[in-house]
Amino acid sequence: MEKKSLIPNAKPKSAAWGSISPDAGTLSADAGSLAADAGSMAADAGSLAADAGSMAADAGSLAADAGSLAADAGSLAADAGSLAADAGSMAADAGSLAADAGSMAADAGSLAADAGSMAADAGSMAADAGSMAADAGSVAADVD
């Protein structure tokens, strides 16, 4: 049975890919071909989605590695700070010891000065004793 157009002398419509066939078999084949193409495109989209998921997992792994490295760097910085504090404490201790040594040296100098003064006093006493002995000798000579 032939279809008749409602518009007299109408020509079959055409599209960019060619004219539309009124044949149901051809239309069915075209629909099947389009459905196959759509299935292929869906498979490609699924493959791309899987690739994107894999890339996201890789990015997550890299982010975890970066976080671990940052934690290690923070730990090393804390250790360095602790070592710097220890070094400062040791430097302060060394300064205190140097001050103590200076004080001891000053005390030793003071003791040496005191010893020198005592030696001078002893020398003066010896001179006085010598003078007294001379006086005693003179008195003894006068008595005779």
pLDDT of 144 strictly over 90: no
How far is residue 91 CA from its own chain's centroid?
25
Which residues neighbour 67 within 8 Å (Cβ) at sequence distance 6 or greater? none
SS (H, E, C) 78-93: HHHHHHHHHHHHHHHH
pLDDT of 8 strictly over 70: no
Polymer length in residues for the chain: 144
Residue ranges with strand state E in the chain: 14-15, 18-19
Q: Report, in this order, helix, strand and coil percent for the chain, each rounded to 5.
A: 85, 5, 15
pTM above 0.85, yes or no: no
pLDDT of 16 strictly over 80: no
**Top-confidence residue, 136 or 26:** 136
Indicate the residue type of 98: A
pLDDT of 10 strictly over 70: no
Indicate the residue type of 38: A
Q: What's the whole-number mean pLDDT along residues 33-53?
A: 92
pLDDT recorded at residue 18: 56
Q: What's the whole-number mean pLDDT along residues 99-114?
A: 96
